[in-house]
Each structure stands twice: as structure tokens, then as C-alpha cells.
Structure 1
Amino acid sequence: MKFCDMPYQRIDFAEAKKELNALMEEFKQAEDAEAQFEVHKKYYKLTDKVSTQITLASIRHTLDTTDEFYEKEQAYYDEKVPEYSNLLIEYQKQLYHSPYRKELEKKIGPVAFKNMELAFESVNETVISLMQEENALTTEYEKLLASAKIEWNGEILNLSLLGPYLKSKDPKVRREACEKQNEFYLSIADKLDEIYDKLVKNRTEQAKLLGFDTYTELAYRRMQRNSYGQEQVEALRRQVKEYWVPFSESLYEKRKRRLNLEHLYFSDEQVYGPEGNPQPSGSPEEILAQGQKMYCELSEETKEFFDFMMENQLLDVFGRKSKAVGGYMTYLPDYHAPFVFANFNGTSGDVDVITHECGHAFQGYLSAKDPIREHADIGMETAEIHSMSMEFFTEPWYGLFFEGKTADDYKEMHLEDAALFIPYGCMVDEFQHRIYDNPELTPDERKAVWKELEQIYKPHQDYGALAFYAKGCYWQRQHHIYSYPFYYIDYVIAQLCAFEYKNKMDEDYKEAWQSYLKLCRLSASDYFENLLKAAGIRSPFEEGCMKEIVDKLKKKIN
């Protein structure tokens, strides 16, 4: 079914509660594991129905943040979903404590039951009102960013549409664009401080009510980190400081020389060379058409997937002033349909959407064939491997989007940018650990923490006259920090795994692709490290893995 034809009906949570209570009673009366599993299938049907309608409302709200109807629907779900989530926990407790647990675990898998444990610790009725407030605050933040109206040469642009000018080959243009962006953020600086301060206090109170010392402990459970913890993450960041930061700083120095600059300012960092960044040669419609050709040639599986996406209008990628900023992939279970949201703006980022977000969507499309819904409940570090690795697997088709040598430039820039991301991703993660372990910090003290971490992870950083960023506020434009706390180290972990795939595909593309397909199909059926092992990929937590990746990248990039 085409996305525009998918009917929306607000979920009546009183009715959903009634259905769920009936299922719990039926589950309790079931006389064996098979009977209980039949009830569990009905649970899948109910949760899929609810999730589909919530997701439809969310998508349509982000497609047009000025649409009053879906704005009200989003507010409704911000209030109601925490209560509903707590109801699901009650059902899961029955499942978890079933006398037929062993037989059910064989069907559903041990990971699902471990995730239930984490969920039981992560929510109860005492924090519902706080979760509702948290949802409202993150929606307020997203709407605040979407409200940007930036004057540019007689036009009014939002943050996404300003993007091409931030990466202009003309230093004056990109500096002016940075100044315009800086002015907008300065105009909302007090509101950004206020929202984040409320979020930190809110999340810390949730953690205390649930019996944790800090929100960090609660966040790890909510992120379903079921096989590794803070010690492994801290060790990974330590290796990044030792091996990766010197490497990335050498790449910034190389970029400075390539741009023929005496000094590299923040406004120059996102530009690959003196001719600017490689630009795709086609219109948004042509990029989609070339994406369809690429996935048709890549494999039978990707052809089937992308044809489905195009036929059902499941990619909304055209930039509009009323759209929310950023990009994402989400899933509509009743239709077994992934959905990709983005804001094309004429930069190479448009091609990134066709590779990265479609990598997520491809895995979602494959996992729809798995009847065990818990297997789709993927940890974010695993989900990002699917997307970041697809960026590399599509390299042979870059020429469809870029003309001549520009395709090679894009390939080099993409690899370089992926490498430059690693220290920043770790900085975001360490920042959040520091903030939530010290929730009493003032807004100014939080900014001081960010400036301190910049000196460790990006010591070359120079914002020049951009006052908002120079004060240590860059993190406030990183919406994950507000809306998805602790969801950022996942990108680092996944990018390291994607580099492993890059190395494998350079040696044997077909073998690497089969490994990737296997990982996608395994979905969340096992723990993270076991999934990697089954697919033949080293864990980034493994001692020596980081140094080996850096050494290989040095040879590729140089």
C-alpha cells in the first residue's frame, strides 16, 4: 500500500488496555507452551497495530511540523505512550515468569528475555508522569530547531536548506552561512539551556525513583545494552584517544593543505577540497531513479527491497521548509514497510541518504520476514552497522550519482569523513556520561565540560568569531543529546564494524556481501558480540582491533 493511502486512526488506549488484559488472562489460562505462544502471536498483532498508528502520526508530524492535526496527535502519544509501555511490561512479566519459560525461550530466543529484564528495571508506574514530561520536552526541542527561519539572499531557509551554503567552495559564503546559523542558535540559546536543564533533572529523577544512583545506569538499560557495559565503552574511548585522535588530527591537517589554508577554522572543516565537496549531478528525482538502478544491480534482495520502497512511496526525501530537520528510517509493522525520511538539499548528503538510511530500511525489510517480532528489536549499535556498511557496499555505483572524477573524490571524502567522525562520536558519549554523572552542573558548567573534551578529542578546533560555538555550545545542535540520550557511541561502534566490512570487501566483495546479508538476517536473534562472530566480523571491543583498523585506514587514505 502506498504511504499516502495508509489510513490513520488514533489509538484508543483504554481499548488497547482492555485487549491486553484479555490476552494476559488467556495467557494465564493456557495449558502448555504451544498455547501460550499462540496467545503471544495475538500480542504481536496488537502491538503491531498500535505501533503502526503511533508511527504514522509521528512520520506525518515530521513531514509537516505546522500541521495542527498531527501536532495534536504527537502530543497525545507523548502523553499516552509511557502508560501503554508500562502495560506492556505487565504482559512481559507474565511471559518472563511462565512455567513454560524454557520452551518459550527456544521459540523467542534468550536475548528477548534478557531485554525483558532490562525493561522491568527501566519503567514502572512511578515514572510515567516524568516520561510524559520528557517526551513533551524532546518534542519541544525538535520543534524549536524546525522553527528556524534564516534569511539568505532574499529567501527564508530552515537549517536543512542552509546546508549547501555551509559546504560552499567559496570560503566567504560558508563563513557567512556559519554566521547565520550561529545567529539562529544564539537567538534560542536560553531556551536550549532551559530545555536541557529540565531534561537532565527529569531523567535523573526517573533514575532515582527506579533505584539507580545516576541516569547513566538507567540509560544503558533503556538502550538495551544487554551484553556490554560502561567499562567496555570507556575502554573503547580510551583506545580512540590513543590511536584515533592523532590519526584524525593528521587528516584535518591534510584537509587544511588541500584547501590551501593557513589556518583551518570550524567553517572550513566540512569542505573536502578547493572545488568544494563533490556534488551529485542529478535532481532529487534522478537521484532516486539512480538509487533504484544501483539496488537493482547490487543483488536480488536489494532490487526487491528498493522496488517495494519506490512503488509504495516510502521515501520522503524532498526538502521543504515545514519539515523537521535531519533524517531517519522507521518501520510500519502492519504493512511490513520501512519508511525513509530525509531533507535533500543538493549536497552529497543526498547520496548518503540513499546508502545510509536505505541500509537501515533494507535490514528492516529483510527482518519483516522473521515471524518472531522480538528479533526486530535490534540494539542501535547493531542497527547502525547495517546502514554504515551499506555506504561502503555501494561504492561501485557512486558513478551513477557523480560525474567523472567527482565519484572518486566522493569515495575518498566519504572514507575520510567516516574516519573523522570517530573522535567526535566518542566526545558526545563522554560528554553525556559526565553530565548525567554530575546532574547538578549549571548550563555554563556543562559548556565548560564540552570545551574541555574538545581539547582532548578535537584539539585543532577553532570557531573563530562564532560566539555560540566558541562558548562550548556546539553540542546543543546535536539532537541525539536532547532526544535520544546515550545513542551516539552506537554510531562509533557500528562505524568501526563498517570499517571491518570495508576491509573485507576490498579483499573479496562477494564474500563480504554474504557476511553482511547474514548479519542483516540474524537481526537481534543473538547478543551483539555473537552476531559479529557469526558473521565473521571482529568486535571493536577486542584488544588490538582499533589499532589494526587505524593502520589499514592510513594505507587506504594516504
Structure 2
Amino acid sequence: MKFKEMPYERVDLKEKKVQFEALMKEFANAKSGEAQFEVHKKYYKISGEIDTMITIAKIRHDIDTADDFYEAEQNYYDEIEPEIIEMNVMYARQMYESPYRSYLEEKIGTVAFKNIELHIKSFDKKLIPLKQKENMLTTAYDKLIASAEIDWEGETLNLSLLRKYLTHKDREVRQKAYAKYSAFFEANGEELDSIYDQLVKNRTKQAKELGYDNFVELGYYRVMRNCYGKDMVENFRKQVKEYFVPFAEKLHEQRKKRLGIEKLSCKDENVYFANGNPDPIGTPEEIMNRAQSMYGELSKETKEFFDFMSDHELFDVLGRKKKRAGGYMTYLPDYGSPFIFANFNGTSGDINVITHECGHAFQGYLSGKDPIKEHADITMETAEIHSMSMEFFTEPWMDKFFGDRTEDYLSMHLEEAATFIPYGCMVDEFQHIVYENPEMTPLERHNAWKQLEKEYRPHLDYTGFPYFEKGGFWQKQPHIYDDPFYYIDYCIAQICAFQFKIRMDENYQEAWNSYLKLCTLSASDFFTNMLKEVGLDSPFDDGCVKKIVEKLETSYIDLS
């Protein structure tokens, strides 16, 4: 069924509570593990119906944040989501404490039961009012960012559509665009500070209610850190500071020479060539047609996937006013359908999106065929390997999109991927500082960001853009507001994606087979175990980051 034809009906919370109560009673009365598993299949159906309706409403709200009907639906789900979580946790606890747990664990896996444990540790009924408020605050942030109306030579642009001018080949155009970009955040700075301050205090209170010292431990449970913890993440960031930051700074120095400028300003941050970044050729429709051709040639599995997505119109990728910023992949359980949301703006980012989000969606399409639904509950660092590696696996087809600037795109993409890692680690360390010190003032948070910029991105100069100069750049990053502690997953995954990149340049088919295996493993095993199974080194292991930097320096980057 095409997305536009999918019927929507608001989830009736009272009705679902009755269904859950009946389900739990039937589960409790089951006299064997086999019988309980049959009841569990009914849980798949009920939870799938709920998730599908909530997801349809979210997508349609994000497509047009000014749509009154779906804004009301989003507000409704912000309010009832904690109660839905409560129902799921109550049912999960019943499974966790089942006398037939060993049989159930054999059916759905040890990872699923570890995740149940984390869900139990991260939720209690008394958190419902706080979580309702948290949802309202994140929705307020998303709506504020989407509300940007920036006058550009008589045309009104949002932040996504302004991006093509932020990366324009003319430095004066970039200066003008960046001034308008910065001005939006300065004009809304007080509200952005207020929203985040409330979020930090809200999440800290949730943690205290559950008996934790601060939100960090609760935050890790919420993002399903089921096989590694804070110390391992800290050690990873330490390796990045030691090896990847110097490497990234060499790349920035090389880029500075290529641009012919004396000092890199923030307005130069995403610009790689003096004649401008390579832009994709053709209309959005032509890009999507070429993408279908590309995935048709890559493998029989990707052909089946992309044809399914196209036939069912499971893309909304055009940038529009009032559309939520950013891009994502989500999943509609009742239809076995991934959905890709994005904001094309005429830059190379359009191609990054269609490869990155298709990496997510491809894995979602494969895992959707697995009858054990828990296997689809992948942790985010695993999910981001699927997407970031797909960006590299599609490189042989980039000439379809960039023509005679294909080599420029490939080198730019590699540099972007490498220089992102310090930024992503900086976002993560910032969040640790904030949530370990929840009484910080907004000014202290801005100062903390400024200090981290010196450690992770010393090349960068914000002179002339006062709001960013004082440490406000982080407020453009939705993950900091919406998904605390998620961002490091991109960095962990990028290290793994680089390993696939190195392997595919040596033996493409062998690397693809390994990647396909990782996608099909889904969440059937723990992240660190799956890496070993497909032949990847763990980013947490000492020496892993150093080895990748050495490979990149000698094999792929000209640092002469």
C-alpha cells in the first residue's frame, strides 16, 4: 500500500489498555513456554498496530508542521506515549519474570531479555508526568527550528533550504547566508536556552526518581547500551582526541590550501573546493530514478528493497516550507514498510541522504521479514553502521549523480566522514558535562561548548558571528535536545564503516557479503559480538582508531 493511502485512526488508549490487560492475563495463565510464546505473537500484533498509527501521525506531522490535525495528533501522542511505554514495560516485566523464561529466551534471544532489563531500569509509572513534559519540550524545539523564515532575495527559506547558500562557492554569499543563519539562533537564543534548561532539569529529575545520581546512567539505559558503558565510550573519545583530531586537522589544513584562504572560518566549514562543492546533476525526480537504477545493480537484495520503496511511495525527500528539518528512516510494522523522510536542497547532501537513509531502510526491510520482532530492535551504533557503510558501498555509482565531478565528490565524502568523528565525540562529551552538572547556567553550557571546540576543532573561527562565537553552535543539533547520548553512535559506526571502506577497496564482494551478514544479524546478538562475527575490530579496543587513521593517511588521503 502507498503511504498516502494508509488509513489513520487515533490510538484509543483506553481500548489498548483493555487489550494489554487481557493479554497479560492470558500470558500469566499459560501453562508452558510454548503457550506463552503463542501469546507473545498476539503482543506483536497489538504493539504493531499502535506503533504504525503513531508513526503515520509523526510522518504526516513532520511533512507539514503547520497541519493543525496532525499537530493535534502529535500533541496527543506526546501526552500518552509514557502510558504506552508503561504498558509495554509491564508486559516485558512479566516475560522477564516468567517461570518459562529459558524457553522464551531461546525463542527471542538473550539480547531481547537484556533490553527488557534496560527498559525496566529506565522506566517507572511515576515518571509519566515528567516524560509527558519532556515530549512537549522536544516537540517545541523541533517546531521552533522548523519555523525559521529567512528572507533570501525575496524568497522565504527555512534552515534546510538555506544550506545550499551556506556551502556556496562564493565566500561573500556564504558570509551573507551564515549571518542570517546565526541571526536566527541569536533571535531565538533565549527560548532555545530555556527549552534545553528545562529538558536537563526534567531528565535529571527522572533519574533522581529512579535512584540514579544523575541522568547519565539513565540516559545510557534509554539508548540501550546493552554491552558497553561510560568507561568504554570515554576511552573511545580519548583515542579520537589522540589520533583522529590531529588527522582531521591535517585534512582541514589541506582544505584551507585548496580554498586559497588564510584562515578557516565557520562559513568555510562545509566547503571543500574553490569552485564550489560538487552538486548532484538533475532534478530530484531524476536523482531518485538514478538511485533506483543504482540499487538495482548493487545486488538482488537492494533491487527488491528499492523497488518496494518506490512502488509504495515510501519517500518524502523534497525540502519544503514548514517541513521538519533533517532526515530519518522510520518503520511501519503493519505494512512491513520502511519510510524515508528528508529535505533535498540541491546539494551533495541529497545524495548522502539517499545513501545513508537507504542503508537504514534496507536493514529495516530485511529485519521486517524476521518473525522474531525483537531482532529488529537494533541499538543505534549498529543501525548507523548500516547507513554509513552504505554511503561507501554506493561509491561505484556516484558518476550517475556527479558526472565529471565524481572524484571531487568521493574525496569530499571521505573528508566529511573523517572530520565528522571529532565533532560527534565533542557533542557526546558536551552532553556528559551537562548531565553530570545539571545546575549549570545557560552561559556555563555555552562556555563548556567553547572549550570543547578548542580541543576537538581548533581550526575553527567564529569571528563575526557573535552567537556562535559565544558558544551557541550546539543549539542547531537536534540530537542534543531530542535524543540525548545518541550522537556518539555515529562516531562508533563511522569507525566501523571505514573498516568496510578499507575492505571493499581490497575486495568489494567480500566486503559486501560481510555487510549483508551484519544487516541480517540485526539484533540477534550483541553489538561487540556481531563485529567479531563479520570480521570488524571493535572501536573500543585500544589500537583500533590508530590503525584506521594510519590506513586512511597512507591509502586514501594525499597529505603532501
Q: TM-score range by the shorter chain?
A: over 0.9
Q: Which residue in 2 is equivalent to 1:376?
A: 376
In structure 1, what is the Cα distance between the partners aligned to 2:452 and 2:119? 32
The aligned residue for residue 391 of structure 1 is 391
Distance 1:278 1:66 in 2: 33
1:524 is matched with: 523
Question: Aligned partner of 1:3: which letter?
Answer: F
State the distance in 2 between where 1:480 and 1:141 align.
11
Aligned AA (1:483): D
Post-superposition Cα deviations, 1:350-397, rounded to whole Å, max 9, x if no partner, equal 101110000000000000110111111110000000000000000000
Work out the CA distance in 2 between the residues paired with 1:53 and 1:336. Answer: 13
Q: Report whether the alignment pairs 1:96 with 2:129.
A: no
Q: Secondary structure at the match of 1:338?
A: strand
Q: Distance in 2 between matches of 1:234 and 1:543?
A: 12
The residue identity in structure 1 corresponding to 2:163 is G
SS at structure 1 position matched to 2:343: strand
Query: Matched residue of 2:402: which SS?
Result: coil
Q: Give the whole-Å Cα distance in 1 for the aligned partners of 2:126 and 2:37.
A: 30
> Where do residues 324-343 of structure 1 align in structure 2 (5 Å cutoff)?
324-343=324-343
Instruction: Give the structure-2-normalised TM-score.
Output: 0.99
Q: Cα offset for 1:280?
A: 0.5
Report the secondary structure of 1:453's partner residue.
helix
Report the residue type matching 1:63 in the other structure: I
- Mapping for residues 61-210 of structure 1, pairs under 5 Å: 61-210=61-210
Q: How far apart are residue 282 of structure 1 and its match?
A: 1.0
Deviation at 1:314, TM superposition (A): 0.3
Q: Tell me by how many angstroms 1:535 deviates.
A: 1.1
Aligned residues: 557
User: CA offsets per residue over residues 392-412 of structure 1, 9 Å max, x none?
Assistant: 0000000010111x0111000
Task: Letter of the 1:6 partner, please give it.
Answer: M
State the Cα distance separating 1:84 from its structure 2 match.
1.1
Q: Aligned to 1:401, what secondary structure does the other structure show?
A: helix
Q: Does 1:414 align with 2:413?
A: yes
What is aligned with 1:219?
219
Tell me by how many angstroms 1:160 deviates: 0.6
Alignment correspondent of 1:472: 471
Residues 6-61 of structure 1: per-residue CA shift (max 9 Å, x gap): 00000001100100110100001111111100000000000000000000000000
Tell me how far apart the structure 1 counterparts of residues 92 and 425 of structure 2 sit (CA, whole Å).
34
Map 1:382-461; keep pairs closer than 5 Å.
382-404=382-404, 406-461=405-460
**Match of residue 507 from structure 1:** 506
Aligned-residue identity in percent? 61
The answer to whether structure 1 residue 57 and structure 2 residue 43 are counterparts is: no
1:44 matched to 2:44? The reply is yes
What's the CA shift string for 1:75-120, capped at 9, x where partnerless?
Answer: 0000001011011111111111111111110000001001111111
Q: What does residue range 225-236 of structure 1 map to in structure 2 within 5 Å?
A: 225-236=225-236
AA partner of residue 194 (structure 1)? S
Structure 1 CA distance, aligned partners of 2:175 and 2:550? 34
CA distance in 1, matches of 2:334, 2:15: 18
**In the aligned structure 1, how far is the partner of 2:507 from the partner of 2:84?**
48
Structure 2 match to 1:462:
461
**Separation of aligned partners in 1, 2:96 and 2:451:** 45
Q: Partners in 2 of 1:103 and 1:479 — Cα distance?
A: 41
**1:263 Cα offset (Å):** 1.3
CA distance in 2, matches of 1:473, 1:498: 30
Q: Secondary structure at the match of 2:470?
A: helix
TM superposition shift of 1:152:
0.3
- Whether 1:357 and 2:357 are equivalent positions in the alignment is yes
Output the amino acid matched with 1:353. V
The Cα of 1:513 is off from its aligned counterpart by: 0.3
Letter aligned with residue 500 of structure 1 = Q
Tell me the TM-score normalised to structure 1 length: 0.99
Structure 1 residue 269: Cα displacement: 1.4
Aligned mates of 1:400, 1:460 — CA distance in 2: 34
1:551 equivalent in structure 2: 550
CA displacement, residues 57-80 of structure 1 (integer Å, 9 cap, x when unaligned): 000000000000000000000000
Paired position in structure 2 for 1:484: 483
Letter in 1 for 2:183: E
Unaligned runs of 5+ in 1: none
**What secondary structure sits across from 2:375 in the alignment?**
helix
Post-superposition offset of 1:478: 0.4
Is the deviation greater in 441-450 or in 532-541?
532-541
Any stretches of 5+ residues in structure 2 without a counterpart?
none
SS in 2 for 1:402: helix
Deviations 1:146-187 (CA, angstroms, capped at 9, x unpaired): 000000011010001101000000000011100000111111
Write the distance in 2 (CA, Å) between the matches of 1:15 and 1:513: 46
The corresponding residue for 1:301 is 301
Question: Which letter maps to 1:327?
Answer: G
1:13 corresponds to 2:3: no
CA distance in 1, matches of 2:497, 2:403: 26
What secondary structure sits across from 1:537 in the alignment?
coil
| Structure 1 residue ranges, 4+ long, deviating more than 6 angstroms after superposition | none
Where 2:403 maps in the other structure, the secondary structure is: coil
Query: What is the CA–CA distance in structure 1 between the aligned matches of 2:533 and 2:15, rounded to whole Å?
Result: 42
Looking at structure 2, the residues matched to 310 and 455 of structure 1 have their Cα atoms a distance apart, in angstroms, of 45
Distance in 2 separating the partners of 1:57 and 1:177 = 33
C-alpha separation in 2, matches of 1:551 and 1:64 = 46
